[in-house]
Structure 1
């Protein structure tokens, strides 16, 4: 153990309390800079502070239900302890603590009435513990284990490249939403007790397996914001992913996944229950072009397919595809242009239930398409190394596909602001 690795408690408090007030020096990659050298010193000794803000404003310009704007925000603060630097451990031992705070209003709920959240950072409007985890290599550097209280989507269900968060709609950014709509898979920042294992077969192939407690009564429940233990366990959700990452001039990432939730839940359109729910998914990010004359300029195509249980999921299938152009202009090396199309398919059993309810009430059920569809175009403008502005346009087709409402197609104009502290 290195005796110089012990950090005075007062320095930790100083780093947390006065980070925002210290002048920017030596590092312009974050809003608060290097904290007068303290941040770099703490990092070298094994304590790394992180923080970011995202604000998303959406205005419903046409269609939907109401003509107005809504704003939502997410504030995330974290600290990571490198136990190798702190105490001389040599297996990549790390402890991660993350806190989230969300505020605002939903454009989907208040203005449009659609299923796919227009603002990906809306939901769970309170301060909560999002992660308290311990991670290390086990037996061999190829085997990595992480356990504790954490959100599933941090490690599973999405593309590691981050390509999908060039969009503002939650249908793209993150994992396919029918995973959480039809199982105990929880959306970030909802966290549960669990364990995740990664094994590298080779530099290109990796297997991920995890198990998480299913506790629906704690999701979005502010009274459970700081409770690590479950309130009411219904089962365990087990995801498995096989990942292939291609390197070279045109890199690519491919994920094939399956998940199973052992919970007993009510079957849609019936009083009976179904024991266990499963689903599968395929995610692809592939570079299809790279400029030979301008380093960093490339075009990536992505694809998503996900299917969930027809017995118990109101949202059975998701299809997504699109392209992201990196470095669209020579003088803008970190900007992006993103265009995506998504199709969310409601469960036919849910529609049967809605049609029967309309018939019993003596009302007419609207003539709806078979899915809610989304077209989204965004431009990521890297204003500074720590600030990204993302003007965004979303066109939502058949917004009432899931609710059974007769809602006109909606045109939504948005702006996402992201800042790294």
Structure 2
């Protein structure tokens, strides 16, 4: 198998982070390698890679390689039923630069993604949410590449380079095992923002500053390029603008985001965290209903869409421990809501709620079970467009309303390097109520699918 050229370039970029040394690792005759742990006890499938990882760690470099494989089957509904597969290999290098620069808390991080196959989202269900969050255009691309500096006790944290808002803002740790991407990076951002916003699977150039203002209060601000894919080009679909993830577009507007989270504790319950934030993108977005001449886009000979500025998202969320048992057993709940202006956005409201039971069985303290529901409301502007189109063209297309995603999963820690997550999802009104390609006057049927995510740390 020949590795893609772009992937080789990414791998070489990661290798550049390895520290210079007077002797190569292979030239260390006295290098001792600890006795390997048994297969089911080791942290990684291949252990310390013959001592290489241990030696690099002693020199401030941490290597990572993780595969997430997700076979799935649409059992009913959707546009069609059948099997699918999506996978994601993540390769990473983290270097502790403090020992080489003398700047305490300074690190560098580079990672690459190798996406494989395709999942059920775009091909069979046509849902607003990514039904397996590892789904992405297949191929190799640069993921993150940034410098990070942390003051003692994380009083200040600065990041500069290429990274995503999904891993730094609007965090939802209680939903970490859920596969539906909406619980990790909200659909109201992924579907509305230019280029999907700086997030998986196309991060963007940016900077972030986080300050622990008081013990319970943390403030964060970030500034990113307005479109992680760069300027639109004629012809290829948007992902082809930066297929290798090597672009750092800085001339496509700006996306600013700010957030505050507050940690608290409720008597008789436990720890909780409330967050509130918002983002604003300076790039204009095409109106969903009105043309540049002020006429309806539903007409048969419309002018180009009017360009609307004022692209923003306001969001809030809360995670609360509801019950504590013995050991690691606990029940947590979360609730999240977000709003975006309806004129230029497909989704105007995103609401979610769920519960997570950690250590459901005393004999399996590393397992968890989760149940969650999300609702994405189709904007009134989009609804008006479809109604006008039906009226003017005499078509009976279904009127969209919103999509509801219901998910149940179990996360089983089989070994330190292996977890298995069987997952069941039920999607009500895929795409918000789009036409069934097999019977256009009717909505696409509700979909039910099962998935199994295997996470393997090499």
- TM-score scaled by length of structure 2: 0.82
SS at match of 2:202: coil
Q: Separation in 1 of the partners of 2:26 and 2:264?
A: 41
- Residue pair 2:202, 2:228 contacting (<8 A) in 1 also: no
| Alignment deviations for residues 164-188 of structure 1 (CA, whole Å, 9 cap, x no partner) | 221111121x121202322242331
Change (3 A) 1:247 1:147: farther
| Alignment deviations for residues 6-62 of structure 1 (CA, whole Å, 9 cap, x no partner) | 435843999xxxxxxx99449712222223333223212210111211111221111
SS at match of 1:312: coil
The more displaced of 405-414 and 67-76 is 405-414
RMSD, aligned α-carbons: 2.6
Q: Separation in 2 of the partners of 1:35 and 1:108?
A: 36
What is the number of residues matched between the two proteins?
Answer: 402
Q: Separation in 2 of the partners of 1:228 and 1:314?
A: 27
Counterpart check, 1:51 vs 2:51: no
Report deviation, 1:355: 2.8
Q: Separation in 1 of the partners of 2:359 and 2:150?
A: 36
Q: Separation in 1 of the partners of 2:119 and 2:228?
A: 21
Report deviation, 1:285: 1.5
Aligned to 1:267: 287
- Residue pair 1:97, 1:133 contacting (<8 A) in 2 also: yes
- Residue pair 2:335, 2:352 contacting (<8 A) in 1 also: yes
Aligned to 2:94: 80
Q: Separation in 2 of the partners of 1:183 and 1:296?
A: 39
1:183 aligned to which of 188, 193, 196: 193
- TM-score scaled by length of structure 1: 0.88
- Residue pair 2:371, 2:408 contacting (<8 A) in 1 also: yes
Counterpart check, 1:285 vs 2:319: yes
Report deviation, 1:129: 0.7
Report deviation, 1:223: 4.3
SS at match of 2:124: helix
Counterpart check, 1:403 vs 2:434: yes
- Residue pair 1:57, 1:416 contacting (<8 A) in 2 also: yes
Q: Separation in 1 of the partners of 2:45 and 2:274?
A: 34
Aligned to 1:254: 274
| Structure 1 unmatched runs, 5+ | 15-21
- Residue pair 2:258, 2:278 contacting (<8 A) in 1 also: yes
Q: Separation in 1 of the partners of 2:399 and 2:158?
A: 50
Aligned to 2:233: none
SS at match of 1:270: strand
| Alignment deviations for residues 59-79 of structure 1 (CA, whole Å, 9 cap, x no partner) | 111122212011101110100
- Residue pair 1:6, 1:86 contacting (<8 A) in 2 also: no
- Residue pair 2:205, 2:248 contacting (<8 A) in 1 also: yes
Q: Separation in 2 of the partners of 1:102 and 1:9?
A: 35
Larger Rg: 2
Q: Separation in 2 of the partners of 1:13 and 1:112?
A: 54
Report deviation, 1:141: 5.6
| Alignment deviations for residues 169-215 of structure 1 (CA, whole Å, 9 cap, x no partner) | 1121x121202322242331211111000001123210000000022
| Alignment deviations for residues 305-364 of structure 1 (CA, whole Å, 9 cap, x no partner) | 111121211111111101000000011111111000110111121122223333444321
